[in-house]
């Protein structure tokens, strides 16, 4: 409706960790907070929550304050999102906006206060999963970049990458394919297996594109839990060690 194009063509612009991607939250303002955001991305079934649990223990033993935040876990939006999913009434635009609302709520109520207090925020998915899902559904990229202009760029983003074949075997072993994870709303195929395969393939291509755009550190999620954890600790340790403004110790 607005005559001019969205201004937030942030692909051109390098956003420093800890800064807003776009318009930000003008009423909050932006200083450099002492805390750090470490995000773990990846599709379902790559072991994100296990890795985060282990990281949390490791960081806390070293004396860091840690909070976890996870996708659709906001107090404000979780019941609404669950309800909307259960009734399959979401179209792609309301989907995008509900997710953005959930993220905004957690950003302002959990993430920013923790950053101010010098905590490490371990994010079980950040904005990228929402971006990947929306982009696969054909939502305009410039629109999404502007929408998430209030998000703060994480200090580290790890992407646990799994190919479609390995992902399918894991998901089937862990209880099967569900409607949304199979992208059945997109009507890609009548058969849930074919739909899952096509949908997750598209998602993985979006994650790769996002990885380039946002500088993900990619880890091979076919490796064992311990091996992945070791790699995460080594990279996070190096980052925190080199960091000029260490978190509370």
Chain positions contacting other proteins, by CB under 8 A: 1-2, 6-8, 22-27, 75-77, 80, 91, 93-94, 97-98, 100-101, 104-105, 108-109, 140, 143, 146-147, 149-150
CB 88 within 8 A of CB 149: no
Given its phi and psi angles, is residue 216 left (phi above 0), alpha (psi -120 to 50 degrees) or beta? beta
Compute the least distance from the CB of residue 222 to other proteins, in Å: 37
Compute the least distance from the CB of residue 73 to other proteins, in Å: 14
Nearer residue to other proteins within complex by CB, 94 or 243: 94
Q: Mind spelling out the 3-state secondary structure of 115-164?
A: HHCCCEEEEECCCHHHHHHHHHCCCCHHHHHHHHHHCECCCEEEEEECCH
Compute the least distance from the CB of residue 217 to other proteins, in Å: 29
Compute the least distance from the CB of residue 124 to other proteins, in Å: 20
Compute the least distance from the CB of residue 97 to other proteins, in Å: 4
Nearer residue to other proteins within complex by CB, 52 or 77: 77
Select from 159, 91, 173 the least CA-distant residue to 128.
159
Nearer residue to other proteins within complex by CB, 31 or 212: 31
Q: How many Cα atoms are found within 13 Å in the side-chain-facing hemisphere of 238?
A: 6
Nearer residue to other proteins within complex by CB, 98 or 240: 98
CB 100 within 8 A of CB 130: yes
CB 39 within 8 A of CB 154: yes
Nearer residue to other proteins within complex by CB, 79 or 237: 79
CB 33 within 8 A of CB 115: yes
Nearer residue to other proteins within complex by CB, 81 or 157: 81
Compute the least distance from the CB of residue 59 to other proteins, in Å: 28
Q: What H or E segment, with its residue span, contains residue 79? A: helix 78-86
């Amino acid at each position: 409706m607005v005559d001019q194009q969205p201004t937030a063509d942030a692909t051109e612009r390098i956003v420093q960790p800890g800064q807003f991607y776009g318009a930000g939250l003008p009423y909050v303002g932006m200083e450099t907070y002492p805390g750090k955001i470490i995000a773990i991305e990846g599709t379902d079934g790559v072991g994100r929550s296990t890795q985060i649990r282990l990281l949390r223990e490791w960081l806390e033993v070293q004396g860091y304050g840690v909070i976890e935040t996870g996708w659709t876990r906001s107090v404000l939006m979780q019941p609404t999102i669950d309800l909307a999913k259960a009734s399959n009434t979401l179209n792609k635009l309301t989907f995008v906006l509900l997710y953005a609302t959930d993220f905004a709520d957690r950003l302002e109520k959990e993430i920013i206060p923790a950053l101010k207090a010098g905590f490490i925020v371990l994010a079980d998915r950040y904005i990228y999963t929402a971006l990947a899902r929306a982009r696969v559904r054909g939502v305009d990229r410039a629109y999404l970049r502007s929408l998430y202009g209030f998000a703060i760029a994480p200090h580290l983003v790890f992407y646990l990458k799994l190919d479609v074949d390995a992902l399918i075997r894991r998901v089937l072993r862990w209880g099967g394919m569900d409607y949304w994870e199979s992208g059945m709303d997109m009507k890609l195929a009548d058969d849930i297996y074919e739909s899952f395969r096509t949908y997750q393939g598209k998602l993985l291509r979006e994650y790769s594109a996002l990885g380039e755009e946002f500088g993900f550190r990619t880890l091979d999620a076919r490796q064992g839990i311990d091996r992945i954890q070791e790699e995460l600790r080594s990279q996070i340790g190096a980052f925190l060690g080199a960091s000029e403004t260490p978190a509370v110790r």
